[in-house]
Amino acid sequence: VSVWNFSAGPAVFPKPVLERIAFELPDWHGTGQSVLELSHRSPAFEAIIADAEAALRRLLGVSDDYAVLFLQGGATLQFAAVPLNLAATKAAYVDSGAWAQKAIKEAQRYLDVDVVWSGRNDDYRRLPRPEEIEVLAGRGYLHLTSNETIGGVQLRDFPKHDLLVADMSSDILSRPLDVGSFGVIYAGAQKNLGPAGLTVVIVRKDLLRHAAVTTPSAIDYTQQAANGSLLNTPPTFAIYAAGLVFAWLEELGGLEEIALRNEEKAAFLYTAIDASDFYHSPIAPADRSLMNAPFRAPEALEPLFLQEASQAGLLELKGHRSVGGMRASLYNAMPLAGVQALVAFMGDFEGRNG
Ligand SMILES: Cc1ncc(COP(=O)(O)O)c(C=O)c1O
């Protein structure tokens, strides 16, 4: 069956990568073993993780000043790992929506959080311009959420700060990035990187060796960096699959090419929404996410929209339970054809119900 998966994560996966995994799964490169069976200490797996790291570094332009870690526990564990590893007593957080709030709540267990900007009064429909964020000296790191997966807002420009920390779970690898302007970047894999179960952390090496003594070893950046992410058993299959996703992206032309495709896909959907009196986007146009597009129809018709969309093979369009409505996630692996199918369905539904 042919379907389009608009899930916010775990999400659509690049088809060529799925096919390659299916082909290689029983016998990895003639070893007679499945990649699922390889010891994380085997030379075969060491090559897999080294290749994955090298490809990720090439894609994002990560210099040797940074360690790249492949961890577990999701972005949620990083909400705690960041304050523990940076051993700060204070930090500044931007409250851009649901995910920023979770990061803030977790950080408050470890340090004093100064919320330096909040979208609350605007119902989280917009984001700050860089100059709207004022961080007092001595407030520690500045934490951002580059893309709010639930709210559907995405930062275009990042504020300048000498220690920027960003949760990039839902837009990493969707566009070129100046990694050098960040201290720590972290992301759960299950949107643009690979399978759920893997968490990528990119940390500037001068930030290592400051962790609080209570930091669990498995999330201690210094210990994991010293052990090449092999302090304990890493999510081996997820690292292998992420490596294939990175290779797919490189083959396609890298982040500049994928950014063009992502802009084209999002523009196609938002243009259709804006052209219609039936649908609308609640988000300020300048801050609309290219990855997650929430949209509304007349509320009484939304359940029927979702039911018929699902029957038409357009899956997982239900908005997050906290905001309702619809949400189309348009990650790297969603082809333009999927967005065209959605827009065609939307036009048809409006024609019959508008
Ligand atoms: C922006 C953002 N941050 C954090 C998380 C939490 O990630 P995880 O479930 O991997 O802990 C998510 C999950 O969707 C997310 O979208």
Evaluate: CB of 145 within 6 angstroms of ligand 1.
Answer: yes
Nearest CA to ligand 1 atom 5: 75
114 among known catalytic residues: no
| Better-predicted residue by pLDDT, 133 or 295 | 295
Evaluate: CB of 197 within 6 angstroms of ligand 1.
Answer: no
Per annotation, catalytic residue among 167, 171, 220, 287: 167
Nearest CA to ligand 1 atom 10: 74
pTM passes above 0.95: yes
Sign of the C-alpha dihedral, residues 10, 16, 20, 22? positive
Model confidence at 161, pLDDT cuts 50, 70, 90, reads very high
| Ligand 1 atom at minimal distance to the Cα of residue 199 | 10
Ligand 1 centroid, distance to 75 Cα (angstroms): 5
Evaluate: CB of 167 within 6 angstroms of ligand 1.
Answer: yes
b/e map 308-341, b = 16+ CB within 10 Å: bbeebebebbbbbeebebbbbbbbbbbbeebbeb
Evaluate: CB of 149 within 6 angstroms of ligand 1.
Answer: yes
pLDDT at position 281 is 97
Residue 131 has pLDDT above 90, yes or no: no
pLDDT at position 2 is 85
CB-based contacts of 33: which residues, under 8 Å, 6+ apart?
27, 44
Ligand 1 centroid, distance to 347 Cα (angstroms): 32
Residue 168 has pLDDT above 90, yes or no: yes
Closest of 128, 87, 321, 318 to residue 221, by C-alpha: 87
Q: Report the mean per-residue pLDDT for the chain.
A: 97
Ligand 1 centroid, distance to 71 Cα (angstroms): 14
CA distance 122 to 199: 31
Token pair for 82: 């960041």
- pLDDT tens-digit map of 94-126: 999 999 999 999 999 999 999 999 999 999 999
CA distance 305 to 311: 10
Evaluate: CB of 76 within 6 angstroms of ligand 1.
Answer: yes
Ligand 1 centroid, distance to 136 Cα (angstroms): 28
Model confidence at 130, pLDDT cuts 50, 70, 90, reads confident
pLDDT at position 279 is 98
Per annotation, catalytic residue among 171, 191, 287, 318: 191
Model confidence at 134, pLDDT cuts 50, 70, 90, reads confident
248 among known catalytic residues: no
Nearest CA to ligand 1 atom 16: 149
CA distance 93 to 212: 20
Residue 261 has pLDDT above 90, yes or no: yes
Model confidence at 273, pLDDT cuts 50, 70, 90, reads very high
Indicate the helix (H) or strand (E) that contains 237.
Answer: helix 236-252
99 among known catalytic residues: yes
278 neighbors 296 (Cβ within 8 angstroms): no
pLDDT at position 152 is 98
- pLDDT tens-digit map of 171-219: 999 999 999 999 999 999 999 999 999 999 999 999 999 999 999 999 9
